[in-house]
Amino acid sequence: MEQRFESLTIFEFQERFPDDKSCLIYLYEQKWKNGFICPGCGNTRYCKGNKEYILQCTKCNRLISPTSGTVFHQVKFSLLKAFYIVYYISTNSKGIASTELSRKLGLRQKTCWSFKHKVMNAMQSSGNFKISGKVEVDETVVGGQEEGVVGRKNNKKKLVVFAVERKGKGISRLYGKVIKNSSSKELRKFMQTTIEPDAEIKTDKWAGYAPLKKDFKNLHQEVSGKKGKNFPDLHRAIMGFKSWLRGIHHHANHLQAYIDEYTYRFNRSNMKVNLFENLISRMMKLGPYPYKMIIN
Ligand SMILES: [Zn+2]
């Protein structure tokens, strides 16, 4: 089946996945492409199970379907519709609202919303590829009344720290995280998981960054300037994110998931990666993601 597809048109997608069975076969091949391993006892030998595409462990007799232990297990709609949701999310660079998915697929909006969040969960950074070289870091307020507006309180606004990796004339990568406050502790947590310790980091003069020079020896502080004019690339990236967010979402709920969605796509925009394939494979590696976890 090693037929690669860069970015499928809707026609190609429909040809590739005409029914539930074709989706199940795809997951079957994904799940066991490196061989069988029993999640119960670790045995690597199997025989055919009681149904097509179900394998049985020869040691503990456990039956394992391609979807078991993944977000695709026991979804309340067809596997084909689940694949369509992943397809629409992966091909709409502006993101897609759950109301639109609901209309396209004839599913309840809440059902689409919840499955969409399972897909977004798979867009989280693995943390395996830290940014390096020339890096800029800054915080910004998202949602509610933004900076500059005095006298109004909006509890829904959130503080986000962003980091960009600069390459040539532009930005090669972007990461962001919702933080409780702009203390050194919060900033350090984010920076240690996303930035290499020897990166050349530029931040503004905020006192919270000063203690981090112990962790990042090439951290330099510079006056940010009016509207961040000394950090043009970073501020362009932040503005890009905010306008994307405003395009489909008018609130800052689940902000981290939306940051993950945006940066996942942003960081792959120059790579020849098939986002649909990449997402399915990430979703197969993650365990179930129940509603309770999404709303927290
Ligand atoms: Zn077993």
pLDDT per position as a tens digit, 103-162: 999 999 999 999 999 999 999 888 888 999 999 999 999 886 544 445 444 457 899 999
User: Residue 292: pLDDT above 90?
Assistant: no
Higher model confidence: residue 15 or residue 153? 15
Alpha carbon of 262 to those of 64, 90, 248: distances in Å? 34, 11, 12
* Mean pLDDT of all residues in 192-219: 95
**Strand pairing partners for 142?**
158
pTM of the model: 0.85
Write out the residues surrounding ion ligand 1, Cβ under 5 A: 38, 40-41, 43, 57, 59-60, 62
Cα 40 to averaged position of ligand 1 atoms, centre (Å): 5
Cα 37 to averaged position of ligand 1 atoms, centre (Å): 8
User: Residue 16: pLDDT above 80?
Assistant: yes
Cα 45 to averaged position of ligand 1 atoms, centre (Å): 8
Cα 44 to averaged position of ligand 1 atoms, centre (Å): 8
